[in-house]
């Protein structure tokens, strides 16, 4: 992957993490969140900041998401009606100051005790690029119901990774791949997969230590773990299940059976 693409992805992940942290730091109060995407090369960040500094009576935070080019705005204390009203004012301001910007806005307000995950925040950002600019899109947590589940494939064999990627994408999953345990641990923190499908024979860190590291990552929702390996030793299989893996298959494997086991783990 080109370095620029890697940096962009890391910057985007940091934005989502910052938004997630900002939401948590607001405590139990209701909190509004808005993503604004503008057409072309329009850069509305400064206009949004200036508008809020002049009009908002409460604290706010603004970030730019390098992946979607959207502006994230955190508005602590605002109900859905209030966030919607603020969205209308920002949209009018951008239409006045940035002709042709054609702002597209997705917004939500999260009540006390209900905070979205980083994946949901990312989904909100991505949705702002797709909404109709003629209206403001009200986002609810139900919007994530159709979001594809994410599977990280960890195997040092490129042929296996390619086959699994193609197969799982055909099943509707969003897939990622890593060639070793260290690369996998970095990806898990960034893309928060729903399931990790892993070989035990990996470079760097492998087997049970790798599984132990996954389970000790600071994540709101740890991924399910399915082992797909050449190791057939019963003691190893037993240790994996005692360590908390959700399923274990040996190679060569039946793709149909693997599909079924993954579905069972995810649902």
User: What confidence tens digit (pLDDT) does each residue in 174-215 have?
Assistant: 899 999 999 999 889 888 899 999 999 998 888 899 999 998
Confidence of residue 2 (pLDDT cuts 50, 70, 90): very low
Q: Which of 39-48, 124-133, 227-236 has the highest mean pLDDT?
A: 227-236
pLDDT above 90 coverage of the chain, percent:
45
* Arithmetic mean of pLDDT over the chain: 86
Res 154 pLDDT > 90: yes
pTM over 0.75: no
DSSP annotation of 39 = S
Q: Tokens 């808005």, residue?
A: 34
Crossing angle of helices 80-97 and 45-55, in 10° steps, is: 120
Does residue 114 or residue 85 have the better pLDDT?
A: 85
Residue 55 in tokens: 């009009």
The crossing angle, in degrees rounded to 10, of helices 234-242 and 207-215 is 10
Q: What 3-state class would DSSP assign to 234?
A: helix
Residue closest to 58 by CA, chosen among 92, 93, 31: 31
């Amino acid at each position: 992957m080109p370095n620029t693409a890697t940096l962009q992805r890391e910057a985007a992940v940091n934005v989502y993490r910052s938004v997630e942290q900002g939401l948590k730091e607001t405590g139990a109060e209701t909190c509004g969140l808005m993503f604004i995407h503008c057409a072309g090369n329009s850069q509305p960040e400064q206009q949004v900041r200036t508008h809020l500094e002049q009009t908002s009576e409460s604290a706010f935070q603004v970030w730019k998401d390098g992946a979607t080019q959207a502006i994230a705005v955190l508005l602590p204390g605002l109900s859905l009606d209030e966030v919607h009203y603020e969205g209308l004012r920002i949209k009018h301001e951008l239409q006045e100051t940035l002709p042709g910007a054609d702002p597209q806005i997705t917004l939500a307000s999260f009540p006390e005790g209900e905070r979205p995950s980083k994946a949901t925040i990312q989904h909100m950002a991505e949705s702002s690029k797709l909404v109709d600019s003629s209206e403001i899109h009200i986002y609810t947590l139900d919007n994530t119901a159709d979001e594809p589940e994410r599977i990280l494939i960890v195997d040092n064999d490129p042929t296996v990774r390619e086959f699994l990627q193609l197969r799982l994408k055909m099943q509707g999953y969003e897939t990622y791949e890593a060639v070793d345990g260290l690369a996998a641990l970095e990806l898990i923190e960034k893309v928060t997969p729903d399931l990790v499908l892993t070989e035990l024979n990996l470079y760097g860190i492998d087997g049970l230590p790798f599984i132990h590291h996954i389970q000790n990552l600071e994540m709101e929702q740890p991924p399910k773990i399915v082992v797909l390996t050449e190791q057939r030793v019963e003691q190893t299989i037993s240790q994996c299940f005692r360590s908390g893996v959700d399923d274990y298959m040996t190679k060569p494997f039946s793709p149909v059976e693997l599909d079924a086991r993954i579905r069972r783990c995810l649902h």
